[in-house]
Amino acid sequence: MERTGAGWSRAAEPTGRWRSLLDRALNGRSGEQALLDDDRLDPRAPLPERFEPDPRPPARWQSAPVAAADGDDWAAGVLRANLGGPRVLAFANPKGGVHKTTATVLAAATAGSVRGRGVLAWDDNELRGTLGLRAGSARHARTIRHLLHDLMEIEATDGYELRDRLDDYLRHAADGSYDVLAGEEDSRFAQKLDPHIVRRVLELLCRTHDVVCVDTGNNVESPNWRTVIQSADQLVVTTVPREDAAFTADWMLDLLEEAGLGRMVKNAVTLLSCPTPGKSALLDDLAAHFANRTRAVVVVPYDPQLESGSNIEYGMLSPATKRAWLRATAVMLEPFAR
């Protein structure tokens, strides 16, 4: 990989490690056994020199939903907890169609439904993201572009005045559980989202919200993508149990490690979303693979309410899906709960 002033770049070519993993999965080998059979993926092997030792327990993967009531109670307790300050969650995978927008919205909706307020979803997709269309009431057509026009004036306010002023640029979930900052549909606007502007927007949102969930879009070379990733408290790697989607997620993690963000990769959460009712043959192997790379892996089930790609209505999800997202969101915020 090459890191230049313009950005990060490296050819995305399948590695022998990745090809071997997929071959084993498709041949019916268990994920754990496949990983142990390849000493390059052996969790007992020493970490590369560029990593610092991590004193926490090894990564784990959990299949949601959680049936036990105490699991739900634990998750709700994490989401209600003092998080030690505002937290930014970046949902990332350069591949399109891997449920980044869905994950961003449902994590915000879940956290907001438990916390009651102070949660926001921001569509930071530079290429006509759909989060603003799929979440939040269309009470106005204002987007990030309108916020930036008045940004300096809004930054000068505080307290209730700040909340009131910022609210003019946000949309709200139907049940009021979270807010939405919609992205701009005009792709020419992306050039205005330079690192300085993105940091100012994040700082502003963190003055009024406890949890900020960001849909990062697909372009790893864009300044806004890199700035959100570098500013995030928690990286959430979104993927589906499909070869191309998971390979791109794995490539992104390599990219971040080689850019000096190895600790962020180790502390990431991998979110595997099931796009169909049937279990994918790759699911267990991919879960085991990403558990070896990231802090935790959570699996959320298919829900027919999400299949159409239209409005995401948290209240319409099945109880099992809601429990799955409760656990998944708690895993994301667990390190910060006090």
Comparing 83-92, 113-122, 162-171, 190-199, which segment has the lowest mean pLDDT?
190-199
Could you report the per-residue pLDDT of 119-170, keeping only the tens digit for each?
A: 999 988 766 556 655 565 666 778 898 999 999 999 999 999 999 999 999 9
Could you report the per-residue pLDDT of 248-258, keeping only the tens digit for each?
A: 999 999 999 99
Going through the chain in order, the beta strands assigned E by DSSP cover 2-4, 7-9, 60-63, 87-92, 119-123, 171-172, 179-181, 211-215, 234-239, 269-273, 296-300
Task: Please report the pLDDT score of residue 22 as a whole number.
Answer: 56
Confidence check: pLDDT of 269 > 60: yes
Confidence check: pLDDT of 52 > 50: no
Instruction: Assign 308 a pLDDT band (cuts: 50, 70, 90).
Output: low
Helix (H) or strand (E) holding 197: helix 195-208
Average the pLDDT over 325-337 and give the result.
Answer: 98
C-beta separation of 108 from 101 below 8 A: no
Task: Please report the pLDDT score of residue 281 as a whole number.
Answer: 94
Reference 263, options 295, 303, 296, 220; nearest CA is 295
Task: Please report the pLDDT score of residue 191 as a whole number.
Answer: 60
State how far the Cα of 102 lies from the Cα of 109, in Å rounded to an integer: 10
Structure-model confidence comparison of residues 64 and 208, the more confident one:
208
List, in sequence order, every residue forming a beta bridge with 63; answer none if it has no partner. 299
C-beta separation of 312 from 106 below 8 A: yes
Task: Please report the pLDDT score of residue 295 as a whole number.
Answer: 98
Instruction: Output the pTM of the full model.
Output: 0.82
Sign of CA dihedral 291, 216, 307, 76: positive
Q: Which two tokens mark 210? A: 């406890």
Instruction: Assign 105 a pLDDT band (cuts: 50, 70, 90).
Output: very high
Residue ranges of the domains in the chain?
15-20+31-39+56-336
Structure-model confidence comparison of residues 39 and 324, the more confident one:
324
Residue type, 328: A
Confidence check: pLDDT of 218 > 50: yes
Could you report the per-residue pLDDT of 194-216, keeping only the tens digit for each?
A: 899 999 999 999 999 999 999 99
CATH class for the domain made up of 15-20+31-39+56-336: alpha beta
Highest mean pLDDT among 67-71, 96-100, 134-138, 148-152: 148-152
Q: Which two tokens mark 101? A: 């927008």
